[in-house]
Every structure is written in structure tokens, then in C-alpha cells.
Amino acid sequence: MLRLTWVQPEDLLGHELRQARLDGRSPAAIEARWRAAGGPDAPPRAGASLHRASRYLRLLAEDLLDELADLPSALSEDEPTGLERIKSLCTDWPASGHGRCAAAPAPAALEAAWLGRAIGCLLGKPVEKLPLDAVRALARAAGNWPLTGYFTAVGVPGDLLAAHPWNRRSAATCLAENIDGMPEDDDLDYPLLNLLLLRRHGKSFSTADVARLWLDELPPGRTFTAERLAHRNLLSGIEPPHTARHRNPFREWIGALIRADVHGWTNPGDPAAAAEQAYRDAVLTHTANGVYAAMFAAAVIATAACGSHDVHACLRAGRRVVPPRSRLARAIDHAVRLAESHEDFDEVVDELHAVYSPAHHWVHAIPNTALLAAALTHADGDFSGSICAAVSGGWDTDSVGATAGSVAGLLAGAPAALPERWRSPLKNRLTTTVADFDGTGFDTLAQLTHLEATRP
């Protein structure tokens, strides 16, 4: 039986209960009704439960999702979604245009950023969804811990592979022995879509423009979590920004962050403009901390695009666009402090997991953004160190690896600055279902991005 992931009401309800507890609502009475009716927990790692719920339970889940959405949040004053309110809380919000680079980053730097994003994603793909102890065990069994190269099944005992199977979509294309170009992944599809967005609408695009582009160019089956539900909401006649809230418990997950790179690449030295551009993209699917994560990433990347700041200055610039009393701000600050005070990155990761794993899903933006900040800080911007730290931290391994690779690749400044062992298996070739980009080289993508960065 077909069990479409990330859309079944009976599966969404458990995620919404968790989200309500995180964002300051009080769902206890609604949860009691769900449990009394025999309602299950959300699937812990997959997108759909194994068995279809009864019609009664499905209808009850739909009603309770709407009731949960109406509950007031105790955190709403400190965690708004409206841009002007966000800016008013960020007392150190960067001045728009101040510090903008005299010139856009060279195509070589943008090629390194595209390559870095692909390499970090590829490194993390085989172990996506696996728990942290499995990531470590698989790498150790192959003699690849601490990580220094792509994951491999060579030398890994069969019983360990049976206990912790690779991500089923990725094993055939992403293990070291199988890599032949960059395979399709949503962590690359969304930057391609945003490149297409800027080519069609320029930097003044609206959220409605993003929605129309998705309806035209993004296959629904290639969306996940918040993006899949926003896509569904659009097809149901719900307009943005309500697409982000209607029966969408994933609105603070990582999806908006993975769409942020192009907004940073095309606003070199202007983290405010990059953050505002990322905001208009993010609110199609996300609210509050899910939006802040995208703004943070875009501002970090915009600062890195100048080529004159170290990674720590870039992270500080990103932090300036995150409301200071938000959960994401606290998580980033905590992660940076840990990375600065521990020589062994495994200790940083263990502490992050101890704090965030009990309450957060492995795709949630807060722990993953914290891990990103910690990895970049601990590696001091070094390319290999950044992507290996990001992926070795578990959670959404391919997404965090991709963004870490984008930042560190941009700071490296040229493809030749990235180690050959990472670059050569990609063969300057990317697979995607987005528009006419299938088979495109990273050098071509860099040239197209440079055109958008220099467009008036």
C-alpha cells in the first residue's frame, strides 16, 4: 500500500504536538484527546507510519491540527515571523548596503561554493537519518574516523551494515566506490530553483513568485517535510504566507535554510539584503526559527562572499539577523561557545545531542543550525575540517554538510583550493530534475550565479 510521506494527518499530529511544546503553546488537553482515541506518536525517523489509520482517527487528527494551530504561544513576542518585527528585535541589524563589496565574488569563488555545497551534501548522504552512534560506528569500521573522506562499505562488517543500513536513496550513488558525478538531491535542487527565480524575477521577487516557480518547476514528489506541505497547500488554494502554517508541523525544520545559499552569493557584503531575500523565500514554508535559520545562513554566506572576512566574522554577521531572545539565537551562541572551548569536536557533538536531541526531530532547524555554527567555528573555516565536522555531528547530515561546504568553499576562493580527493569524483557534473540544469557543470553554475550577483 502506498504511504505517502510527510502528509498523512495521523502522522502530522504527533509532530505538531512536539512543535507546540517547543514553541510555547500548551497542548496537553488536545494531546489527551488524541491519546484517548488511540492516536499514535509520530514516526520517529521516517515520514509515514507503517499502517493507515481509521477514517475516524484521520478526521480527528485534522480537527486537532487546526485546534493546535489556534493555541496562543508564550514565545510569540520574542519569536515573531513578520520581518519588521524581527528587525526591530535585532538591535544590531546590519545596515543595508553598508560594507557591500566593490565587486561580486569571482566566478572561481562561486564555483568553489557550488562545489563545496555538493561535496558536503555528498559526504552526508549515505548516513542521512542514521543515529549518531551508527554514523560513528560505520566510519570507524572503515578506518575513516575522524572523517577524512567519503563513506565506504569496503571493510565494514556485514552485521554492522545490516544493523545500520545506508540511506536507501543514496547508497548506490554516494559511497566512495560508487560516486560518478553529483547525484540528485534537494540540497542542490533548491539552490538551482533560486538561481532560476533570480533569472526570471530578479532580487525583488515576491513570495508569490517563489510559489509560482515551484508550481511550474518543482515536482511534488521531490519535496519533503515543510516544502511538501506548502506545495499541497498551494494546490488546495491556500496562499502564502498561510501555506507555512496550515497543518504544517515542519515549519521550524531545516528546509528554508537549505534554500538560502543563492541569496547570500548574490548579495556579497550585504548580509541585510541577503537575509531579507532569504526571508521572502522562507515564509512560503516556514515560520519563526525556521525563517531565522535561513536568514542566518544567507547573512553568513553574503559576508563570506566578500572574501575579506574570516569564518568567525561571517558567523557574527549571521547572528545579527537572528532575534536575540529566540531559541535559535541561544542555540547558536551555545554551539559557538562549545566549539571554542573544546579541542575534541566529538565532545562538542555529544553536548549538543544531550541538549537538543531529546526534544527535537533530527531535521529540526535549531539543532542543525547549532551544529553548523559549531562545525564552522571549530574548523576555523578550513574546508575539509568544516564538512567533516558537520557530517560527523549526525542529524541532517547531508543538509548541514552542504551548507558548511558552501561557506568553507566560498572562503577557500577557488576550486583548486579544495582537495582533489573531494572534487574529482564529482566530474563537474550535476544531476537534477530542475528545469534545464540536468548535467550542468559547476563552472557553468558559477558563471550564471555571477551574472545574478552583478545584475543591478
The CATH number given to whatever domain includes residue 232 is: 1.10.4080.10
Residue range of the domain that includes 53: 9-69
CA 283 to chain centre: 14
Lookup: cell for 227? 516544502
Residues 351 and 300 in one domain: yes
User: How many structural domains does the chain have?
Assistant: 2
Residue 156 within any structural domain of the chain? no
Based on the fold, state whether residues 26 and 118 are members of the same structural domain.
no
Integer-rounded Cα radius of gyration of the chain: 21
Does residue 171 lie within any of the structural domains? Answer: no
pLDDT of residue 99: 64
230 has pLDDT over 70: yes
Percent of the chain with pLDDT over 70: 99
Cα torsion through 108, 110, 111, 113, rounded to 10: 130
- Residue 176, in any domain of the structure: no
pLDDT at 102 over 80: no
Quote the pLDDT of residue 98.
Answer: 64
Average pLDDT over residues 378-396: 98
Same domain, 251 and 350: yes
Task: Answer yes or no: is 27 within a domain.
Answer: yes
- Looking at the fold, whether 403 and 428 belong to one and the same domain comes out as yes
Q: Which residues are annotated as a binding site?
A: 396, 398-399
Report yes or no on 433 lying in a domain: yes
Report yes or no on 327 lying in a domain: yes
What's the pLDDT score for residue 2? 66
My answer on whether 46 and 190 are in the same domain is no
**Digit-coded pLDDT (tens) for 255-279:** 999 999 999 999 999 999 999 999 9
Q: Return d(Cα 38, Cα 45) in angstroms, integer.
A: 21
Say yes or no: 90 and 23 in one domain.
Answer: no
Q: Residues 254, 257, 262, CA angle at the centre, nearest 5°? A: 155
Binding annotation for Mg(2+): 396, 398-399
**AA identity, residue 329:** A
**What pLDDT, on a 0 to 100 scale, did the predictor assign at position 238?**
98
Place 109 in a pLDDT band, splitting at 50, 70 and 90. very high
Residue 1 has pLDDT above 60, yes or no: no
